[in-house]
Amino acid sequence: METKKKEEIKKDLKKFSEGKEYCAKIGKAWKRGYLLYGPPGTGKSTMIAAMANFLNYDVYDLELTKRS
């Protein structure tokens, strides 16, 4: 991923993380979503891990296709 795009995402994540009180004040849901796409091996999962690390969030990987 381009350095410029990474910086844009980091800026957006920082803005999001600082907006919880503002969203509560105006009655807006405090949530953010990203759509990552591309073939396997292009860094989508790595990007999610980096974003979670930046925000100090936990990431859970659930296998939902298997049933027991």
Task: Report which of 11, 9, 14 is spatially closest to residue 46, judged by C-alpha positions.
Answer: 9
Q: Is there a contact between 61 and 52 (Cβ–Cβ < 8 Å)? A: no
* Model confidence pLDDT, tens digit, residues 6-65: 899 999 999 988 888 898 899 989 888 999 999 999 999 999 999 999 999 998 888 888
Q: Give the integer Cα–Cα distance in Å for 29 and 16.
A: 11
- State if pTM tops 0.75: no
Residue with tokens 């509560």: 24
The two most distant CA atoms of the chain are separated, in Å, by 45
Specify the DSSP class assigned to residue 39. S
